Structure 1
Amino acid sequence: MRKLVLLALAAVLPSASAQGTLLYFNDAHELAPLGGGQRGGMARLATQIEQIRSEQPETLVLFGGDLAGGTLFGEFRGEPIVEAFNQIGVDLANFGQHEFDFGAAQAQRLVRQSKFPWISSNLTQHGQPFAGAATRKILSVGNVKVGFIGLTTAMETTNAGDTVQQGEVVEAAKREVAALQAEGAELIVAITQQPLEADLKLAKEVPELDLILSEEESETRTTMTAEGGTVIAKPAGNIGSVIRVDIHAPQQPLKLSVLPIGPELAEQPQIAELATRYMTQLERRLDRVITQSSVDLDAGAKVSRVQETALGSLIADAFRKATGADIALMQGGGIRGDKVFPAGPVTLKTLTEILPFGNQVMMVEVDGRTLQAALENGVSKVDEYSGRFPQISGLTYRFDPAKPVGQRVSEIRVADKPLDPQQLYKVALGSYLAAGGDGYTMFKGARVLISPADGVRDVTALSEYLQSQPTRLMASSTSGRRAPPPAGQ
């Protein structure tokens, strides 16, 4: 018999008859609170978990993924987050895409450092479950056997490369759910890292799932959606909220509620000390002044996703200088910060905030036809502010967003000569694009001249370039490398 689910979009008192409780959160890139201290914070989360455990000893803490990269704190590659989780007592974790921001080896290192188990039903490496993770797990909550599966998508957006394979989600779910049912699971929960549309499809095609606990849709908003007899719950990002699930008997309704993580919660002292220690280290590490800028640096997300910018050109120039390539390509969505950095001292902190993902600068060799396909991909979704928009060095081109996708780019020139479809060009780019991220699949399989292991980190390349070009930040022109989009773009 399928379970009904009661939804409550506010914190509620626990039911005295509950067998136990699940606490679910995901997207934990930071130890410290965000939004001026108004949301999130690992020490506040720890306090909330301690309070629930004191009320309900039969409580499992579940983490949905994404604890490395993506923000300035990614400088530590996720290791302080794992340290905090070890202290808090996480019971089960699923992989998010950001666990692979620094490559598969670092993701494996995070697993080895964890005192809690990881689960993955669809990620493999060399034909085996990634990092030895279980493909499914049954945990008892009171007298109820709860089965869990873990599903991760969008691995093409990571730096895992070709060593980690992403299995088809629905196929993996059906296989593991059948096994859990055979093993006596009375309630089945999928922990997923995928958007709502994909979760809705999963719920329709695998109706045996009682609950889907998924990745955030918003930094500030918690959402719950019902599909058939399955509820899809998505907490606010960066520990903005926790989903609480009270479990009664197998045939009785689940009760879901939302626990905000904000300043109303005191900070757990041990985790607060951990956060202070790492934030102090981060400030010391990143406060080194790299250069002085006489111009503002615009890292606005929408600007770098629709047109070439001074900052985007600067990054691409740095990539080209670091590798000796003919051309360099940087996707606009990889430029973060989403603000204007004012003229003045440029610190390593500034540069790391702009490039937080830790990509390695690679060099590949492709022909002109492939290069044109890459540019076409880059401008294919400019009207959607897609992160794939190309920031470039070493070439010029024009594009017309009014033309059909695939026919928008023209007048491509390299070293002031027309692009030759047959000629081979050396292209510098981040390891994310080289792996096919943001639709740049044409680079997968290209001849690699500088591998991730031999390349430098993107922030390092930019830092070294600025130190070697002390006057590079004295002008804001992008040198007219492409025609600006028409008004309104």
Structure 2
Amino acid sequence: MFPSLLSEWTQGAHMVEMMNRLDGAPGVFDPRMFVVFGNHEFDQSKRKHAALLQTRIDQSEFQWLGTNIRFAQEEGEPLVASNNLQVARIVQSGGVRVGIFGLTTDKKSADKIAYVEEFLNPVRVAEEQTKLLRAQGAEVVIALTHLALKKDREILEKLGERGPDLIIGGHEHQRHHVEIEGRWILKADVDARTATVVRIRMIREKPFVSFGYRFLDRDHLTPDPEMQKQVDQALKEHEEWFCSEHHEVAGCLQQTVGETAVPLIGEELEIRSYETNLGNWVADQVRAAVEDADIAFINAGSLRVNQDIPPGPITQRDLEELLPYNSELVQVELDKEQLDAVLERATESWSEKGHWLQISGFAFQHDPQKPEGHRVDAIALLQDGKMMKLPARPLQAITYKFLIDGGDGYDMLKPLKWASVARSLKESLRHSLRTSTKPIQPKVDGRICNLAEIGHRSCAFKQAIP
């Protein structure tokens, strides 16, 4: 339900409404449609938001699975409860009884969600539910997950036949298909770019899985007229609300705030795995928030446009979709060892992850083939195109308060003292674009050097460091 430009207005209602229409029968409950909670369902995390989440579940014409979520209680009753919220279900398909349960990541820990008491261990819950569903007559057991691929693998590797026959998952944003001893983990692409079509055949009372990806090319798909009507109406009403709420003129989201002379690379396969020119431009603006800042770094997961912005006008909608969060910038001091720990976290499971960093003022070299704790083997300042050794003194760094609070696994930053320098990165970018006298044209200068990609991508470490 979160985060998106529209969710600030609808609080997730637009997503529920559109999903209710997916089966072509709005207004009718679909007992064969299941969803699992993702970490962003808990973006609204105060105790008062339990009622909001329950309302969205109640409005759903499908079933939510919260198998490993233990909601906090009040007067002996869970703060989130609904007829549309189930622990697990068995449905019949093609004459086969299929058991389904759901597992949610604890990426946002329960102690940061006032109405969640605990996310139970997904491996243990998978074993318990598989056993229970089979005892209740399920011939096939499927885990619907929003977990990191590493955790999905752990479930199948540790449990074997004691675990589910198939995992259909999300969270990674890119499609994956992994086979572990005859059992599959299947994930499709984010934003409905692909759909995974799975077929299960029973042969001698054992399930055999086959699958394929259906690529959903929006340029060649015919929109459903009624769905398109609802989408257009939602966008129109949202823009009216947004412009009024921000005291802007009508149609403000279409207004030009700046220009780019080059494509800005924001597609997630790139910006969550490599240095990109869009990431560089944003990180450079973060560092510019404080005149004497040495370096800056931001998590790529905060840049959520998930598409490239073509040369030409940059609209207010582009900027709002790029940064749905109102990210506060803070200044901290880091020594070399602390910076190294930050970069080791950035390169952990480095590909396609929201905790990947976009950086400014420095460069680093990493080898994704090396073990944890040894991937980063060179760090240097990189300013105005020149490489320099790190100074002996602590570095003045600008980053998000979200990361200083330990967000995205950066727990090593939590003890640091910080000072706020800008309440909103979005406003800083807007000001920079509006005051620029010419189109921006950021480039990739090799500030992030991946040793596995030498020869294919820029690497600043090719120049000597004085």
Normalised-by-shorter TM-score class: 0.5 to 0.7
1:24-423 → structure 2 map (5 Å cutoff): 68-69=2-3, 78-87=12-21, 88=23, 89-90=29-30, 91-100=33-42, 102-104=43-45, 109-114=52-57, 115=60, 116-124=62-70, 131-132=80-81, 136-141=87-92, 146-153=98-105, 155-156=106-107, 162-163=112-113, 166-180=119-133, 187-194=140-147, 198-206=151-159, 207-215=161-169, 225=179, 227-228=181-182, 230-235=183-188, 237-239=190-192, 240-241=194-195, 243=197, 260=214, 268-280=224-236, 284=251, 286-293=253-260, 295-296=261-262, 298-299=264-265, 302=270, 306-307=274-275, 309=277, 311-319=278-286, 326=293, 328-332=296-300, 334-335=302-303, 336-339=305-308, 341-342=310-311, 344-353=312-321, 355=322, 358=325, 360-363=327-330, 365-369=332-336, 371-373=338-340, 376-377=343-344, 380=347, 390-392=357-359, 396-401=361-366, 405-411=375-381, 418=391, 420-421=393-394
**Whole-angstrom distance in 2 between the partners of 1:244 and 1:189:** 12
Alpha-carbon deviation of 1:464? 4.0
**Whole-angstrom distance in 1 between the partners of 2:35 and 2:448:** 47
Alpha-carbon deviation of 1:347? 0.8
Higher mean C-alpha deviation, range 75-84 or range 217-226: 217-226
Contact map agreement 2:167 2:185 (CA 8 A) in 1:
yes
**Whole-angstrom distance in 2 between the partners of 1:365 and 1:347:** 32
Contact map agreement 1:213 1:232 (CA 8 A) in 2:
yes
Deviation digits for residues 193-246 of structure 1, max 9, x if unmatched? 246664344234332445424136999979585744x45444565443364667
Q: How many residues align?
A: 402
Alpha-carbon deviation of 1:131? 4.6
Alpha-carbon deviation of 1:94? 0.3
**Whole-angstrom distance in 1 between the partners of 2:291 and 2:156:** 50
Q: Which runs of 5+ in 2 are unaligned?
A: 24-28, 240-250, 384-388, 458-466
**Whole-angstrom distance in 1 between the partners of 2:280 and 2:189:** 34
Aligned CA distance change for structure 1 residues 267 and 376 (closer, same or farther; 3 Å): closer
Match of 1:443 among 393, 398, 413: 413
**Whole-angstrom distance in 2 between the partners of 1:138 and 1:477:** 51
Deviation digits for residues 7-39 of structure 1, max 9, x if unmatched? xxxxxxxxxxxxxxxxxxxxxxxxxxxxxxxxx
Contact map agreement 1:378 1:390 (CA 8 A) in 2:
no
Contact map agreement 2:259 2:314 (CA 8 A) in 1:
yes
**Whole-angstrom distance in 2 between the partners of 1:242 and 1:384:** 21
Aligned CA distance change for structure 1 residues 96 and 285 (closer, same or farther; 3 Å): farther
Aligned CA distance change for structure 1 residues 254 and 124 (closer, same or farther; 3 Å): same
Contact map agreement 1:95 1:152 (CA 8 A) in 2:
yes
**Whole-angstrom distance in 1 between the partners of 2:283 and 2:442:** 14
Aligned CA distance change for structure 1 residues 313 and 249 (closer, same or farther; 3 Å): closer
The letter of the residue matching 1:397 is F
The letter of the residue matching 1:120 is G
**Whole-angstrom distance in 1 between the partners of 2:137 and 2:213:** 31
Q: CA RMSD in A?
A: 5.3
Q: Which runs of 5+ in 1 are unaligned?
A: 1-66
**Whole-angstrom distance in 2 between the partners of 1:376 and 1:408:** 10
**Whole-angstrom distance in 2 between the partners of 1:399 and 1:244:** 42
Contact map agreement 2:64 2:86 (CA 8 A) in 1:
no
Match of 2:402 among 419, 426, 431: 431
